[in-house]
Amino acid sequence: MSEFDDYSCIQSALQGDDMAFHQLIDHYYLTVERFARQIGVREEDLQDVTQEVFIKVFRFLHKYSRGKFSTWLYSVTLNVSKDYFRKQKREKAKIDKTINSSPETFYTENTDLTDDARILHKSIQILDEKYRVPIALFYFQEASIKDISAIMNLSESTVKTRLKRGKEKLKASLEKGGRMYEREAF
Amino acid sequence: MSEKRFDEGIMELKNKYNQSRPVSSPSDIFQAVQASRKKTWIIKGYGGIAAASVCALLIAGILIGSMLTGNDTNLTGEDAVPPESGGRPDAVLGGTGEYDNNENPTDEAADTNNPNESRDDLDVQYKERPETISENITAEGMEHEHTLHLYIDEELGYSTYLEPQTVVTEDIYRSEKLIGREFKVTDSFSITLLVHSEEESSLEAIEMRTIEQMESEGYEESAEPYPVFETPDRQGQFSQPASSQRYYALLEHDGRVFSVQAELPSESFDGRFPVTLKSFIDELMFR
């Protein structure tokens, strides 16, 4: 969908055209769901998070005025996901008070991935949020530095720094994981 | 380690993500959106138990927490700027102070285009907003319009909406890393805004400190927050039986964390204040 089509759909939706908003959902729900997955939302929560994103988009569509719609959409998705992470963290803390250990939940559909891809996936999921989000946007969503800057409300230089440091951490993790697998092979 | 190995792993992962079976359905999403449209502001009647303004208590808690965690936040003596009540919700505050972004960019990162260029539009946008907004409130079966006025804080670079008679105290305290504002809506209801530099603390650390402070004072996190704020990066509601509800909302913007806190006495649930608080937070727009 071109920017012009986005604009037309949004204008129609703002004027009460439900079908126009449905078209926005049709076009963007996969983007939202994939991005949420990439930044660590669990599989069982993806549906709720995706719905919540579009509820917020609908409520605040009048606040979106210029710039790329996708940039704003990523920003909304990020905020909804962060709120979800906070709730998840609080729930986990409560569980940990009564149960000593709580196993980490990872995206489990990775059985056919190579070792390197699996290590990268796990490493990204446990990266600090400040690195995880720009990594997901840059490498998986093909967002530009300028777009990430707008999505995360950060300067472009800060985005570059976080990408650089995040990549270094992932490469280090990959290297460590690689050695581990080599040792296992022997 | 070779770039090629990293790139290949990332590419494989990207393909895997893109091939993943969707778990959401556009029609279900649309139905959820439709259901959400029917929500209107219905003022809850929780009964009245008087409670005094607790703004000072909130701030003290935050500061004690901040000092306990070793942050350099001196709010006593000469650093505490005497309150200056602006008193006009539509006042445009003076000043130019801004925090630095302390991400310590690398040489590579520093070699970039001027990021401020792309923010020119936002600079204007956060100030060029409607002078008033209105919310429809239904209380005891009667609907009436609740009008809020634009408030622009040029020094800290944000705008939002406030009730007309709100008294603004620009510097309830000020240090290099932390600036506080108080918005006194009435004697029993105030909103506090704290702006932390990124150097002062991370979003996560500020949230944990806020929660620990509330819990240490006997508050428990509420299962069903009301009102639910739409825009913050973090939010929470805590309650104390037969007393009041405390709220916090954290918003990260360009390396700074904006922390909004407020306490609603139980009696205030039967009024307009939840709407005022929600609008203050959800309408925050940054430079």
What CATH number did the domain enclosing A21 receive? 1.10.1740.10
> Do residue A93 and residue A120 come from a single domain?
no
Using alpha carbons, select from A17, A166, A148 the residue that is nearest to residue B106.
A166
Cα nearest neighbour of B3 on chain A:
A171
Whole-number Å distance between alpha carbons of B218 and B204: 21
> Do residue A46 and residue A125 come from a single domain?
no
Whole-number Å distance between alpha carbons of B84 and B94: 12
CA distances from B108 to A119, A139, A156 (A): 27, 19, 11
Percent of chain A clearing pLDDT 70 (strictly above):
78
Whole-number Å distance between alpha carbons of B157 and B166: 19
Q: Please list every residue in chain B whose beta carbon sits closer than 8 Å to the beta carbon of residue A124.
A: 13
Whole-number Å distance between alpha carbons of B249 and B128: 24
Looking at the complex, report in whole angstroms how far the Cα of residue A6 sits from the nearest Cα belonging to chain B.
Answer: 17
CB within 8 Å of chain B, chain A residues 137-176:
139-140, 145-146, 149-150, 153-158, 160-162, 164, 167, 170-171, 174-175
Largest CA distance in chain A: 66
User: Two tokens at B119?
Assistant: 């923010």
Q: What is the ipTM for the molecules in this complex?
A: 0.83
Q: How many CB atoms sit inside 10 A of residue A18's CB?
A: 13
> Do residue A86 and residue A116 come from a single domain?
no
> Do residue A112 and residue A179 come from a single domain?
yes
Instruction: Verify whether the Cβ–Cβ distance A33 to B109 is below 8 Å.
Output: no
Residue ending a domain, choose from A105, A131, A157: A105
Lowest mean pLDDT among B27-36, B39-48, B139-148: B39-48
Confidence (pLDDT) at B223: 65
Examine the pLDDT at B50 and tell me if it is beyond 70.
no
Element (H, E) at A94: helix A69-98
Domains and CATH numbers, chain B: 41-99+107-286 (3.40.1000)
- Please compute the mean of the pLDDT values over residues B189-199 and round it to a whole number: 86
> Do residue A98 and residue A112 come from a single domain?
no
> Do residue A184 and residue A122 come from a single domain?
yes
CB within 8 Å of chain A, chain B residues 137-166:
none
Examine the pLDDT at A36 and tell me if it is beyond 50.
yes
Cα nearest neighbour of A27 on chain B:
B26
Domain extent at residue A95: 1-105
Lowest mean pLDDT among B128-132, B210-214, B280-284: B210-214
| Alpha helices (H) along chain B | 3-19, 26-37, 55-68, 107-110, 120-125, 203-216, 273-282
Q: Is A66 on the interface with B (CB under 8 A)?
A: yes
pLDDT, tens digit, 9 for 90 and up, residues B213-252 = 888 888 887 766 666 787 788 888 888 776 788 899 998 8
**Residue B34's pLDDT band (cuts 50, 70, 90):** confident
What's the mean per-residue pLDDT of chain B?
71
> Do residue A25 and residue A82 come from a single domain?
yes
The domain total for chain A is 2
Examine the pLDDT at A180 and tell me if it is beyond 70.
no
Amino acid at B53: S
Category of B233 on φ-ψ map: left (φ > 0), alpha (ψ -120 to 50) or beta = alpha
The CATH number assigned to the domain holding A127 equals 1.10.10.10
Which residues, listed in sequence order, are joined to residue B247 by a DSSP beta bridge? B237, B262
Amino acid at A159: V
**Residue A84's pLDDT band (cuts 50, 70, 90):** confident
- Please compute the mean of the pLDDT values over residues A50-79 and round it to a whole number: 85
Residue ending a domain, choose from A105, A134, A160: A105
> Do residue A133 and residue A98 come from a single domain?
no
Best residue in B11, B24, B122 for a mutation probing chain A (most A CBs within 10 Å) = B24
> Do residue A90 and residue A112 come from a single domain?
no
Whole-number Å distance between alpha carbons of B43 and A130: 38
Give the closest of B34, B121, B235 to A66, CB-based: B121
- Please compute the mean of the pLDDT values over residues B250-256 and round it to a whole number: 84
**Residue A5's pLDDT band (cuts 50, 70, 90):** confident
Name which residue leads in pLDDT, A1 or B278: B278
Element (H, E) at A71: helix A69-98
CB within 8 Å of chain B, chain A residues 82-121:
82-83, 86, 90, 109-110, 113-114, 116-117, 119-121
